[in-house]
Amino acid sequence: MEMVLKTKTVSEELGVNPTTVQRWVRHFNIQCDKNEHGHYLFRQEDIEQLKEIKSQLDNGLLMSDIQIQSIQTTDKSLELPTQFEEKFSRLNAAIEALEKKIEEKADAVVSYQMLQHASELEELIKKMENMEARLQDLEVALLKNNYPEERLYVKEKPKKNWFVSLFTL
């Protein structure tokens, strides 16, 4: 297992401030791993690159003039694509699971709405049947009392006395 060091330990080894190490990592785009808190984790190859940077700075070069050699191991370069493939497949599986949950949720919502509409329709049908029954009862009552239907729906104007109508022209 490869030894991994934190920024503080590397800065003590190089004799510089920890923020200087962090600045070099960002400026020279050194590919360091990070832990779950976002702190840099340095392998021996990373430390060698940082030592080369410090050496060139000590010789009077500016940071913009420094050339560093990429000391990436072939194991690391082979490891990255497989890591990405694993992450990609995990993300794909997570997306598929979410899509399935969304589809199930949509089906549940549609089913609930259909049940709700069905119960509303049943309620309306019962109300209509109740109104039909009451209407039939009313028709039966009207027939028993011999009321002509026209009298029920049309209000008749009161008839005036013909003698009074002569004077109220």
Secondary-structure class of domain 5-72 per CATH: mainly alpha
| Structure tokens belonging to residue 122 | 């049943």
pTM of the model: 0.41
Q: Nearest Cα to 89, choosing from 97, 77, 101? A: 97
Burial 44-67 (b: 16+ CB within 10 A, else e): ebbbebbebbbebbeeeeeeeebe
What is the model's pLDDT at position 139? 85
Domain boundaries, the chain: 5-72
> What pLDDT digit, counting tens, does each position of 57-104 carry?
888 888 888 877 655 444 555 556 777 888 888 899 999 999 999 999
- Segments in the chain below pLDDT 50: 72-74
